[in-house]
A and B are shown apart, each in its own frame.
Chain A
């Protein structure tokens, strides 16, 4: 019997899509190859403000990111909904800081903040005094920061585990298989999975499955570090105006240090850690928050990010088609739930939680 929806890709986006469909009463199969999911490697930052790293590396895509800002706010609201629905994912929304070490960096943040406010974000600029009052854990050498109150963090380990349990309870069928082709009627791997609608949420695996779209999905291998647990003090998600870093503390005390330092290798193997990323990333974190220097780094890992063009892709491959796409783009763990739910709603003909029009696959059509 054909399913109502077959979802290819079992990361956060595919899981959220399957969850939304199952909650709407659909019969769902979720197929995953079990390889290099960004959702199993990510650090659980809930990004809202424009990431300086992305802006610096991809200036030509800045506009895409800017126009997606409302989606980021909706994404955090969606996580808050999931936090309640799944029974707690260690979510906190105490805001995100982007630090400046020079007046020039502060000026960059001022311009950025103005653009973000125009998109409805709750942002403020803090001088050093104001910064010290809310973030006494920061080290010397900073002149100020931008505070984005919408930002926060979750524990992805907890979130993924809770998500799995919930899908199980809703009787979503989960299959481990590598899909090699998809049509509007089925997905095919070692087995065939017939369906009334097919949704591709396979991150770096998506491009190859959808040759009708000129959609680049090369994986970006990224590096992460984690320390042993310390007293919970770093409540914000901390970034830097010019340097690659995200620094935060799980409520369980471990400090997670990342921010886009490169790893090595692609989807055909397990990406490997680079020694220089480890040293430079951690050294920078130690300078920003000197209190973490009493903790030791206990593990590093590398995972695959799929930034695409920095903007989400949601909807059918052609108008009216039953073959659909759900790709979150940059900060994909933040966006995964909202993008997955929106794409599932579109595929099942239900009301989506956000207007998917700006994120249509139209831009990739050959």
Chain B
């Protein structure tokens, strides 16, 4: 066993496994609340993947560090973050500016990005891949931190894919977060020591998805997190979100995570699925079997394994409210058997996925609203090229397709971006099969997404700015017509997560009130930064970008 890493949290000693994120280490130590909000409520891990910005802590005098994305290190002074950190100058950080011009740049190192990078490399291109996570593999292949052996076949397969990319000569920069995208395309990113200005000949966006939340009163309490956050805690850091856990979701992820947590030693107090019982819809089950009997069998085995542990999926069931008393969460739900509640120490919530398409929207790729999944998807041709010349998009950032489809898309786009040929017949067939499976899968799990119209008035629609539904409705009654006006009137979407959770819900709500489907313009306008960016990063980027201004001047 390797020696633990020691750091302090508000002065108290914490021991962490080497490679653990601060979030995992604090969770293991029983700390749930990491920061305070403007109204004095506490927040902790929610998304576990750098999106929600609720896990902020102050590290060595520098506020605004995401505990879920920051590795624990020996001697760190970590502190709970107040709603408004003091304006004390933080210790100086100097980042080295780096200008890169690879033939192919891949954003995201999940199933889609890794495969795309390998294919582009095999077609002869020089490839650079950026990923904000320090652990490799993306969401499906989620690798473990440190040097623990793979948890299962899924992780082992991911490890092989990462090694293959390395062996192929893909240059991979982990911990490098993309914060800017400008026409060109021109991508700006930063890691702990550098700021990158990348002007590739071809860009492949493979930024994946994040989870659609379930918005209910109490969804912001520490101890309440997305199903994926709990999964990352366990799969990457071997940390359980709690001892007694309730899981609510839609789709196979929640059952899978419930099983993983149960195997890891957690007690699953309740497992709720929004979709009705599949036994009542044999047609959909058969369709799924037909498309991919192996994956369908995997799903059935998973449910059987849960049943052996005494966990049964409660179908047609949704949580309604969560109340917290110290570390105890009381979660209430409603289902076909009426309403009930349980006391637990963690609640995992999710409701499908939202594509991380910010870079695509910033580059003005044409988007289309998909009414079935209620999300924007980029228009793509058969090589996965978007409407922007030189920009391809693969995997879940184009709408949920699953890891196998992402991998095939990656292969196709990677080759095309490197100047190679179009999809082969085998690739077309494989893609059709994977997409057919996803289609059947989501027919089986079909459930109406949560709508603002059905939410309690005290439900926070915007977690960051703490805007309840009642305030939103008041702004609409006062005559706000478009999403921008609502935002300016209520502060909905103005917070650190940049509207990632509220915007899709709000876009749908406004569109239904107007009796239409949402369009790209119905979401918040895409703007840089893609993620909140340090002033030190921008300062380091200045010479790179100023050189650009000089070039403009020279041009005339």
Contacts and interface: CB of A to CB of B under 8 A. Distances in A.
Given A176-B481, A270-B525, A229 B83 contact: yes
A358 interface: no
B90 interface: yes
B479 A168 contact: yes
- Which one of A231, A295, A298 has the greatest number of beta carbons of chain B within 10 Å? A298
B538 A300 contact: no
A294 interface: yes
A137 B89 CA distance: 9
Given A168-B479, A294-B90, A278 B546 contact: no
A366 to B, nearest CB: 34
Given A270-B525, A278-B538, A290-B89, A296 B491 contact: no
A298 B62 CA distance: 16
B394 to A, nearest CB: 25
Contacts of B535: 227, 282-283, 285-286, 292-293, 295-297
Interface string A173-210: 01010000000000000000000000000000000000
Contacts of B546: 276, 279-280
Interface in A224-245: 227-234
Interface string A157-182: 10011001100100000101000000
A219 to B, nearest CB: 17
A40 B484 contact: yes
A291 B542 contact: no
Interface in B59-82: 61-64, 82
B86 A161 contact: no
Nearest to A298: B532
A291 B89 contact: yes
Interface string B484-503: 10001101001110100000
Interface string B91-116: 00000000000000000000000000
B64 A157 contact: no
Interface stretch (B180-188, B283-291, B422-430): B180-188
B458 interface: no
A295 B83 contact: no
A286 B536 contact: yes
A283 B62 CA distance: 17
Interface string B28-52: 0000000000100000000000000
A285 B481 CA distance: 35
Contacts of B123: none
B484 A230 contact: no
B479 A299 contact: no
B539 interface: yes
A165 B489 CA distance: 11
Given A276-B549, A294-B90, A232 B84 contact: yes
B545 A275 contact: yes
Interface in B522-546: 525, 527-529, 532-536, 538-539, 541-542, 544-546
B299 interface: no
A21 interface: no
A301 interface: yes
B478 A230 contact: no
B548 interface: yes
A164 B496 contact: no
Contact of B548 (A168, A270, A276): A276
Interface residues of B, number: 49
A289 B62 CA distance: 16
B85 interface: yes
A292 B87 contact: yes
B147 interface: no
Contact of B87 (A233, A273, A301): A233
A283 B539 contact: yes
A229 B88 CA distance: 13
A222 to B, nearest CB: 14
A352 interface: no
A10 to B, nearest CB: 11
Interface residues of A, number: 46
A253 interface: yes
Interface string A236-278: 0000000000000000010000000000000000100111101
A41 to B, nearest CB: 10
Nearest to A289: B87
Contact of A294 (B62, B479, B489, B495): B62
Given A275-B528, A296-B533, A40 B88 contact: no
A228 B64 contact: yes
A233 B85 CA distance: 11
A270 B484 CA distance: 13
B187 to A, nearest CB: 10
Nearest to B536: A293
B63 A157 contact: no
B534 A231 contact: no
B285 to A, nearest CB: 45
Given A228-B64, A292-B535, A157 B481 contact: no
B511 to A, nearest CB: 17
Contact of B479 (A174, A280, A285): A174
A280 B545 contact: yes
Given A292-B87, A300-B527, A228 B496 contact: yes
A289 B542 CA distance: 17
B89 A293 contact: yes
B545 A294 contact: no
A209 B533 CA distance: 42
A157 B89 CA distance: 28
Contacts of A278: 180, 528, 538, 545
A164 B536 contact: no
Given A164-B479, A174-B479, A300 B528 contact: yes
Contacts of B538: 278-279, 282-283, 286, 297
A96 B528 CA distance: 29
A168 B478 contact: yes
Contacts of B498: 298-299
Nearest to B182: A275
B488 A40 contact: yes
B215 to A, nearest CB: 21
B537 to A, nearest CB: 9
A228 B64 CA distance: 9
Contact of A301 (B82, B481, B527, B544): B527
B25 to A, nearest CB: 23
A295 B478 contact: no
B469 to A, nearest CB: 18
Nearest to B56: A228
Per CB-CB distance, the 4 closest pairs between chain A and chain B, nearest first, are: A291-B87, A296-B532, A276-B545, A290-B89
21 contacts: A34-B481, A161-B489, A165-B478, A231-B82, A270-B525, A275-B186, A275-B188, A275-B541, A275-B545, A276-B548, A279-B544, A279-B546, A293-B535, A294-B87, A296-B496, A297-B534, A298-B495, A298-B498, A299-B498, A300-B528, A300-B529
Interface of B: 38, 61-64, 82-90, 180, 182, 186, 188, 475, 478-479, 481-482, 484, 488-489, 491, 494-496, 498, 525, 527-529, 532-536, 538-539, 541-542, 544-546, 548-549
Given A275-B186, A279-B539, A295-B535, 18 more contacts: A137-B87, A168-B478, A228-B64, A229-B84, A230-B87, A231-B85, A275-B188, A278-B538, A279-B538, A279-B541, A279-B545, A280-B545, A287-B539, A291-B88, A291-B89, A293-B536, A294-B61, A298-B529
